[in-house]
């Protein structure tokens, strides 16, 4: 199952734009537990979409840290700097499921790769260059070109996927699927 998110209009109620989420756990439980106009659960879903959907500019940021998407969206959109800590267990169930049903396999692979690149960048930035580890850091830095090549390959495949021409599982689209017939 795949649900397309084609708008990140946070002024709208998430459930009104994407009612199919109400039928799928754990989103169904989030929706039914929200008594009233469903505004709080809608905001939680927008938090997830803003931080994880590939069309959101905020999804490209590292998740953690002062300038990470969790902090920015928590403080500025949720208006609660402690939101992630308070809602941690709920988010831990929503996020993987959201990624499973809203992202293609290539988008999930790219998101994982970007998360590891952010970890790597932090590690290299925070590790002092000294006589005990200079050789390991040199090897890590020398491997950067290979990692960048892999990243560019993933971006190219994702671009091809989003432009059409490939389908889930990296299969070639038929003439009917492309609209040629």
What is the three-state SS of the chain? CCCCCCCCCCCCCHHHHCHHHHHCCCHHHHHHHCCCCCHHHHHHHHHHHHHHCCCCHHHHCCCCCCCCHHHHHHHHHCCCCCHHHHCHHHHHHHHHHHHHHHCCHHHHHHHHHHHHHHHHHHHHHHCCCCCCCHHHHHHHHHCHHHHHHHHHHHHHHHHHHHHCCECHHHCECCHHHHCCC
Structure confidence by residue, pLDDT tens digits, 99-146: 999 998 888 888 889 889 988 988 999 999 999 999 999 999 999 999
DSSP state, residue 6: -
Report whether pLDDT(172) > 60. yes
Name the residue with higher pLDDT: 7 or 48.
48
The reported pLDDT for the residue numbered 28 is: 97
**pTM beyond 0.85:** no
The reported pLDDT for the residue numbered 128 is: 94
Structure confidence by residue, pLDDT tens digits, 141-163: 999 999 999 999 988 988 887 77
């Amino acid at each position: 199952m795949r649900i397309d998110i084609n708008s990140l209009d946070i002024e709208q109620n998430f459930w009104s734009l994407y009612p199919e989420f109400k039928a799928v756990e754990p989103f169904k439980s989030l929706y039914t537990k929200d008594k009233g106009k469903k505004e709080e659960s809608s905001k939680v879903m927008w938090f997830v979409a803003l931080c994880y959907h590939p069309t959101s500019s905020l999804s490209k940021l590292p998740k953690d840290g002062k300038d990470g998407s969790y902090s920015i969206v928590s403080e500025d959109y949720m208006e609660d700097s402690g939101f992630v800590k308070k809602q941690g267990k709920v988010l831990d169930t929503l996020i993987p499921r959201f990624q499973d049903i809203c992202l293609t396999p290539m988008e999930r692979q790219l998101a994982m790769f970007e998360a590891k690149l952010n970890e790597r960048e932090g590690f290299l930035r925070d590790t002092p260059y000294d006589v005990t580890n200079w050789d390991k850091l040199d090897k890590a830095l020398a491997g950067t070109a290979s990692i960048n090549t892999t990243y560019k390959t993933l971006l190219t495949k994702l671009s091809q996927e989003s432009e059409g021409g490939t389908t889930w599982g990296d299969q070639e689209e038929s003439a009917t699927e492309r609209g040629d017939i």
